[in-house]
Structure 1
Amino acid sequence: MRKSPPKVITIPAKPEVASRQAIQRQLRVAAYCRVSTDDEEQLTSYEAQQNYYTDKIMTNWEWTMAGIFADEGITGTSARKRPEFLKMIRLCKQKKIDIVLTKSISRFARNTVDCLNYIRALRELGIAVIFEKENINTLEADSEILITMLGAFAQAESESISANVRWGKRQAMREGKTIIQYNRLYAYEKGEDGKPKIIREQADVVRSIYDQYLSGASLRMIKDRLEAEQIPNVTGGSQWTITAIRSILTNEKYCGDVLLQKTYISDCISRKVIRNTGQLPMYLVQNHHEGIVERKTFDAVQAEMARRSAGKSPSKKNAPTGMTSYASKYALSERLICGECGTLYRRCTWSKQGRKRIVWRCVSRLDYGTKYCHNSPTLDEEPLQKAILAAINSVMSQKSTLIRQITSAMEMELAPVPGESMSLADIERRLGELNDQTRELVAESARAEDATACTAQLRAIMNEAAVLKEKRALIEEQRQSNAQAVRRIEDAAAAMAQASTHISEWDEALIRQLVDTVKVNSAEKITVFLRGGIQVEQDMI
């Protein structure tokens, strides 16, 4: 049985129905506008753009409002920093927008790469972006070439503006003009003259932080003490952070100076903030405002911080990098050394049958047994502390003599060059004498018929004065470089003056001030080296 061929029936088109459906569906149109600063004039422009696009979309019967997205006071070089722009792109991907209107390419994006990427993504979704100023529709074939060129011009304009702003700011830095952010600056507020004004209550906290750090406390110990005393932080909260305390200890504003260009922006596109470690010049404005701590105290803290950071671990086994963290809980952690191998001792807790025993052991013996250190003894903590106190008390009876020795050691720290006999006072006195001699010779040469002899003497005086001025410069330079040592010796002398003639209880802070090193000679004998170079041989108790 033959099958009949399939029958095809043609249904004619109805153009009036298609046009009616097209008319019923309005295009969903969104507008994007942006101003680059939050100045009052720019905000007025921002409102004007919103009103303009609202009126334009709502008066076109073929369009319906899909939203107006506006970023105010925001950079156009990065889309990540424009939340309204990103919100608009999300709605486009959800097919809730058909057309995007914007004033110009520079309003849409000043980053050529971002501009092209977003335009291509929207074009793949069938969404047109219309730039009114350039009269470009991104769905047209030749639009991308024009957008690339105009986008590059917009980016170049941003880079030019950024370079001009950067030059202006750096020129202001060279002239010593400062801009200080007070919202995170503890103990200072903006004064009537525009300079930092001290907040007295918080300034006492800053001085306390500096004193605690120089007395040996760690950042963690300072943090715990501030929170225990319920001292509010810069925002008024009760919690302090290690970062905030370190910032107080390293911020030069607390000694009255301002350091400019600590950081810089890599470029106007990524706007990544980079710490300036020498890539660009920095500008230090000294004595800009009233300081809270003295400059020598600030310098001593920086030197102490560098010393702690550069500490070497005695144990390569537990610290493969060779570096160590600062041990601040126990004064002997950095002072008790093995007389046999020179390695530091470590505090250990031994437990036996439920009983704990606190001892100090050579780190080399702990890590490697007797391989490198053969006979270093284990010392119980209590007898060791008593022996150290006995050594200190043995010299406390001659406290005035000890203080003079410490002061003498401080003066030795100020010696300009090893073997140099003249002090600053001697140099200044001699320079005064030479000035007097110069005036006398000048007067004598004016009266003499032959001034040859006077000229020779003047030349000799000038040569001697030049040598003395060089020596004076060396002394002052070394005084600055020895700020940390001088500070420690001054603190030791002050601690010695305030201490009782007999110390009966172990005080970690006092030991840090008085004791430089304790050397373990044997299980029966130690040598205590006090600040200022005094050493005491002491039997274990």
Structure 2
Amino acid sequence: MVRRRVVKTSANGKKRSYSCNHCFSQIVICGECGEMFRRLHWSNRGVKSIVWRCISRLEPTGQECHARTVNETVLENVVVQAINTLLGDKSTYQAQLQQNIAKVIRSAQQNTADGIDERLQRLQKELLKKATNKEAYDEIADEIFALREKRQQASMDTVQRDEQLQRITELQDFIKDQPSDLTVFDEALVKRWLRQITIWDDHCTVELKSGLKVDVER
């Protein structure tokens, strides 16, 4: 049910949702128009292959797009090269991951729910006092409702930050413990580490869930 929710809103406002189980589904994005790429079985001069093509080139989206068609084996090689780039320069990317951890922690400190709870307690006491004295308390009630929504959002943000920290630390361990470069494509790594692959004319940008980005010429 979670995977079938809306995963992307296109530039033309159309909501795209989960469509298949393939590891590249919903994460291959067009750098030109921002649409997703779709998986197709292709036949060119009798030669069959599997390719990925921008939706803007397959259906009317209101956008003119000239994005190239990408063979699935090319995408697989892009992923292998991106991960090997991380493994080939461990110190640089480990330092970037440490910086990402610091950013997440700073964000958590700035958006803590503790301050909201303290303010809610004071307002609730003030509301009770005004209600007892039959004084107007509409403004206080409105602020309480607004703070409760903010508190709920803060709780959700905390869960997301914890997940982000876990992804970063897991990637750090993977980079540190991986003894050698990858030689074959691993679908499990895509599902575990990748957030998005953006297709440009002359290269692909691989973005990991930890926040790291790697450009691969293709």
User: Closer, same or farther in 2 for the Cα pair 1:347/1:486, shift >3 Å?
Assistant: same
- Deviations along 1:486-524, one digit per CA (max 9) or x if unpaired, are 3332333333334343111111111233333211111x3
User: Closer, same or farther in 2 for the Cα pair 1:327/1:384, shift >3 Å?
Assistant: same
Identity of paired residues, percent? 26
Q: Give the aligned partner of residue 104 of structure 2.
A: 413
Which among 333, 336, 358 is matched to residue 28 of structure 2?
Answer: 336
Q: Give the aligned partner of residue 361 of structure 1.
A: 53
1:501 aligns with 2:192: no
Deviation of residue 388 (structure 1)?
3.1
Q: Could you say which structure has the higher strand fraction? A: 2
1:516 aligns with 2:195: yes
Q: Give the aligned partner of residue 525 of structure 1.
A: 203
Deviation of residue 348 (structure 1)?
0.9
Whole-angstrom CA distance in 1 between matches of 2:21 and 2:160: 25
Deviation of residue 534 (structure 1)?
2.8
Paired residues of 1:314 and 1:364 also in contact (CA < 8 A) = no
1:537 aligns with 2:202: no
Paired residues of 2:164 and 2:210 also in contact (CA < 8 A) = no
Paired residues of 1:496 and 1:514 also in contact (CA < 8 A) = no
User: Closer, same or farther in 2 for the Cα pair 1:415/1:377, shift >3 Å?
Assistant: same
Whole-angstrom CA distance in 2 between matches of 1:481 and 1:313: 18
Q: Give the aligned partner of residue 81 of structure 1.
A: none
Q: Give the aligned partner of residue 492 of structure 1.
A: 171
Which among 394, 405, 414 is matched to residue 85 of structure 2?
Answer: 394
Deviation of residue 340 (structure 1)?
0.9
- Deviations along 1:62-99, one digit per CA (max 9) or x if unpaired, are xxxxxxxxxxxxxxxxxxxxxxxxxxxxxxxxxxxxxx
Q: Give the aligned partner of residue 139 of structure 2.
A: none
Paired residues of 2:57 and 2:66 also in contact (CA < 8 A) = no
Stretch of structure 1 that moved more, 340-349 or 505-514? 505-514
Paired residues of 2:86 and 2:93 also in contact (CA < 8 A) = yes
Whole-angstrom CA distance in 2 between matches of 1:507 and 1:376: 26
User: Closer, same or farther in 2 for the Cα pair 1:517/1:481, shift >3 Å?
Assistant: closer
Paired residues of 1:311 and 1:325 also in contact (CA < 8 A) = yes
Whole-angstrom CA distance in 2 between matches of 1:339 and 1:481: 26
User: Closer, same or farther in 2 for the Cα pair 1:488/1:326, shift >3 Å?
Assistant: farther
Paired residues of 2:79 and 2:185 also in contact (CA < 8 A) = no
User: Closer, same or farther in 2 for the Cα pair 1:486/1:309, shift >3 Å?
Assistant: farther
Paired residues of 2:5 and 2:18 also in contact (CA < 8 A) = no
User: Highest CA radius of gyration, 1 or 2?
Assistant: 1
Paired residues of 1:519 and 1:527 also in contact (CA < 8 A) = yes
Whole-angstrom CA distance in 2 between matches of 1:326 and 1:383: 22
Q: Give the aligned partner of residue 325 of structure 1.
A: 18
* Count, aligned residues: 172
TM-score (norm. length: structure 1): 0.28
| Structure 2 gaps, min length 5 | 111-150
- Deviations along 1:172-218, one digit per CA (max 9) or x if unpaired, are xxxxxxxxxxxxxxxxxxxxxxxxxxxxxxxxxxxxxxxxxxxxxxx
- Deviations along 1:90-116, one digit per CA (max 9) or x if unpaired, are xxxxxxxxxxxxxxxxxxxxxxxxxxx
Q: Give the aligned partner of residue 36 of structure 1.
A: none
| Structure 1 gaps, min length 5 | 1-304, 421-472
TM-score (norm. length: structure 2): 0.64
